[in-house]
Each structure stands twice: as structure tokens, then as C-alpha cells.
A and B are shown apart, each in its own frame.
Chain A
Amino acid sequence: DAGVTQSPTHLIKTRGQHVTLRCSPISGHKSVSWYQQVLGQGPQFIFQYYEKEERGRGNFPDRFSARQFPNYSSELNVNALLLGDSALYLCASSLLVAGGIDTQYFGPGTRLTVL
């Protein structure tokens, strides 16, 4: 079975530009979460979507937005890019069984470099 897939794998943008990152979850998983990992840190939670609705949002500015589609794939959008947005962006999927154990499985990530 295919795992979580993300595209593109690498991206170079300049300050002020906009970027869209894409994620396809594991088949059968209805929840998608986005994380940002900067060098030397653990992943930081950005968003979680379940059944196309936002379930949680981390401490990120409004320049960050996301959405989930009927096939449960997801997009992360970042507007007005700053140098500090350079990071590895990780997507994770899970079943999100209410009240149950929820293990998140990660994709390979998209490496974003902002110049």
C-alpha cells in the first residue's frame, strides 16, 4: 500500500511569493495534518483537517492556510513568503477514530527554500 505522498519534493521561492504544497493521505485515512520542521527542531503543528473541516490550528500567522478535498487530499498554502518560512513541510495522515488511539503517519516532506 502507498504511504503518504507529498509534492513537490523541493521548492525554491523568493520573498513575497506564494506557495502551494500538496499531500495525499494513506488510503482510508480521513485526517490530514501539516507540520513545519526547521533545522534543529522537532516538527511544529500547523493544521489538522478531518472530513474537510479544520479541527485544529497551531500558532502560525494567517499567511498559512490549508484545505482538504473530498478525496481527503490536502493543500497547504503560504502567502507572502518570508525567509523564516524556509523549512521541511511534513504532511501526516491518520484514521482519527474519535476517542481512540490516533497514530499519525508522515510523508517524506517538501523542502521549501525562500531566498
Chain B
Amino acid sequence: DQQVKQNSPSLSVQEGRISILNCDYTNSMFDYFLWYKKYPAEGPTFLISISSIKDKNEDGRFTVFLNKSAKHLSLHIVPSQPGDSAVYFCAASALGGSNYKLTFGKGTLLTVNP
């Protein structure tokens, strides 16, 4: 049973436009959410996170929105740049547990076209 779902395997946008990547989760114990970017042959790079006490967190071109009632979060990238082309993973953890293991989605391949 997949507890974190990224239903879009791929997304293609034009340079300068907005990229919106979506993520849904089923486990109501999750209270901390992270987005990672991954290039081929590299490890995931941390992008931005949000705790369940917030509904929005912004860092430069990246904004994450959390809708707890819908168990949905999204990552907005504005403006999108060709260097943003990568696989984006949504991850979740339950900080109240004995360990902070991350549960990942399958990822969304973002392609930003010049």
C-alpha cells in the first residue's frame, strides 16, 4: 500500500512558466513533508519542507502548499528554468514516532523546455 503517491510520472513546461508538482498521502500520522530533486547518477537533493502546522512555505522560486484536510501537497516552481529538469520526489515522515524514516513517492520527472 503506497502511503505517498505522485500520480503524474512526468510533467513538461516551458521555461519561465510555473511548474506544479502534486503529491497525495494517506497516513494521517505524517506531520512533516519534504521535496527532493534528483538528477541521474546523483543522490536526492533537499529542496524545501513543510510541517503540518503550516499550510505554506516559500524559499525563493520554490513554494510548497499543504492541504491537510485533503491530504495533499504541491510544489510550485516559478519561474521554471531548464536546470530544474530532474525527478522530483515527495517524502513524508511522522515526527512523533521513534524514528523519522522518510516515506517517498515514486517521483515526477519534470522537463523544462527552453
- Contact surface of A with B, Cβ cutoff 8 Å: 4, 6, 31, 33, 35, 40-45, 48, 50, 55-56, 58, 90, 92, 94, 96, 99-109, 111
User: Number of B residues contacting the other chain (C-beta, 8 Å)?
Assistant: 28
Q: Can you list 25 A-B pairs with a CB-CB distance of less than 8 A?
A: A4-B43, A33-B102, A35-B102, A42-B104, A43-B102, A43-B104, A45-B102, A48-B99, A50-B99, A55-B98, A56-B97, A56-B98, A56-B101, A58-B101, A94-B100, A100-B95, A101-B32, A101-B49, A102-B32, A103-B46, A104-B34, A106-B36, A106-B43, A106-B46, A111-B41
| Residues of chain A contacted by B106 (CB below 8 angstroms) | 40-42
Contacts of B44 in A (CB 8 A): 43, 90, 106
- Complex Cα spacing A33 to B99, Å: 10
Give Cα A41–Cα B93 distance, bound, in whole angstroms.
18
A99 adjacent to B95 (CB under 8 Å) = yes
Q: Which residue of B lies closest to A3 (CB)?
A: B43
Residue B59 is within 8 A (CB to CB) of chain A in the complex: no
For the A-B complex, the count of residue pairs with Cβ-Cβ distances under 8 Å equals 70
Residue on B with the closest CB to A90? B43
A106–B99 CB distance below 8 A: no
**Known A41-B106, A42-B107, A101-B32: A109·B101 in contact at CB below 8 Å:** no
